[in-house]
Amino acid sequence: MRTADHAIDPLFLRRWSPRAMSGAPLPTEELHRLFEAARWAPSSGNSQPWRFVVSRRDQESFASFFGLLDTGNQAWCHQAAALVVVCAASVRAAKDGSLKPLGTHAFDTGAAWMSLALQASQMGLVAHGMAGFDKVRAAEVVRVPDGVVVICMVAIGLPGDPAALPNDKLAIEHPNQRDPIEQHVFDGRF
Ligand SMILES: Cc1cc2nc3c(=O)[nH]c(=O)nc-3n(C[C@H](O)[C@H](O)[C@H](O)COP(=O)(O)O)c2cc1C
């Protein structure tokens, strides 16, 4: 049970990262609703550096995306409707055509992911971020172009029966808690 210490919209408490998914496919239109939410995230200079490389479970690429995951993530991601490699453009073309580093690409892409995750939660879908994968191989698999970096992966799916999870995942299949804001918010200085 999650409770807020200060009044917030319930959508922030409702979102969490389940692992139980049904294995059912997700219509492309539903997937597009998630990326539409991500589309409206704020970004430095409206640079929109997020790049989502998507593989649906009915596509040939799914096996190679799945193969990028750590075994701990494979244990539950085989039921995902889609796996996403989240990337970010780390440079932007200036007016003179030169490439300038974008210092906030990871921050902005994180904002887009959160929009996607909140939209998924509102639609009753699972969206689960993952750092447990092989980043170097991911860049090869999705053929990341110059100036783009791999940030994260995301599993998306329809909710499934938690009882089908391996025991170690079943044990943590519930919303977790947070530190109080005092541990993360400072008045003027650390
Ligand atoms: C960038 C990122 C990487 C994560 N990596 C993994 C992962 O590899 N495997 C996993 O099971 N969960 C992963 N998670 C899920 C986190 O453990 C989870 O978001 C955190 O415990 C907070 O729980 P909540 O999302 O349910 O609120 C990741 C989440 C994020 C945002």
Q: Are 131 and 45 in contact (CB under 8 A)?
A: no
Q: 46-73 pLDDT, tens per residue?
A: 999 999 999 999 999 999 999 999 999 9
CATH T-level topology, domain 20-162? NADH Oxidase (3.40.109)
pLDDT classification of 94: cutoffs 50, 70, 90: confident
CA separation for the pair 133, 118 (Å, rounded): 23
Which ligand 1 atom minimizes the distance to the CA of 113?
31
Token digits of residue 50: 């997020």
Q: 119-142 pLDDT, tens per residue?
A: 999 999 999 999 999 999 999 999
For the Cβ of 62 lying below 6 angstroms from any atom of ligand 1, the answer is no
Name residue 53's amino acid: V
CA separation for the pair 86, 128 (Å, rounded): 12
| CA 132 to ligand 1 center in whole angstroms | 9
Q: 1-17 pLDDT, tens per residue?
A: 999 999 999 999 999 99
| CA 96 to ligand 1 center in whole angstroms | 40
For the Cβ of 16 lying below 6 angstroms from any atom of ligand 1, the answer is yes
